[in-house]
Amino acid sequence: MSKKFIADVIQQSSDLTGLASVRLAGAVIEAIKAKIIETGRFSLPEFGSFAVRETPKRTKMNPRTGEKVQVKAGATVRFKPSPNLKEAAFAGVKKARRKAARAG
C-alpha cells in the first residue's frame, strides 16, 4: 500500500480533487507516525495495530565474510493484523488454493 493508493481511494470515495486527496493521505500518514512516536503504538480497528519494539544488542554474522559483528540495540515498528484482517486474507488464500486444485 502506498500514499498514492490511499490518495486514489480518498479521491474516488469523495468529492476531493487529486491534490487535496494527496494532502489528506499525507496528513493521515503523518498523524499515524506522530501517534506511534508519542505513545509507541497505534491501533486501527478492523485492520490491526502497530507497536514499537526494542531490539537487544546482539551478535550477527556477516554473510560475505563470515565474521561476527556486534549489532547495536535499537527499535523497530511491528504490525499485528486484526482477527478480521487475518480471516479475510486467509479466505482469499483458501479460495485461490481451491481454484488451483480444480485446475490442476
pLDDT tier at 104, thresholds 50, 70, 90: low
Residue that has been written with the C-alpha cell 493521505 in this structure: 25
Domain that residue 30 falls in: 1-39
Which residues touch 58 (CB under 8 Å, ≥6 apart)? 70, 71
Please give the pLDDT value at position 69. 94
pLDDT tier at 102, thresholds 50, 70, 90: confident
- Reading the block at residue 77, the C-alpha cell is 515498528
Q: Which of 9, 3, 47 is nearest to 25 (CA)?
A: 3
Same-domain check for residues 58 and 23: no
d(CA 59, CA 67): 10
Residue type, 41: R
Q: How many domains does the chain have?
A: 2
- Reading the block at residue 58, the C-alpha cell is 546482539
Same-domain check for residues 14 and 33: yes
d(CA 32, CA 51): 11
The pLDDT mean for the chain works out to 90
Q: Which of 52, 47, 54 is nearest to 83 (CA)?
A: 47
Same-domain check for residues 46 and 84: yes
pLDDT tier at 90, thresholds 50, 70, 90: confident
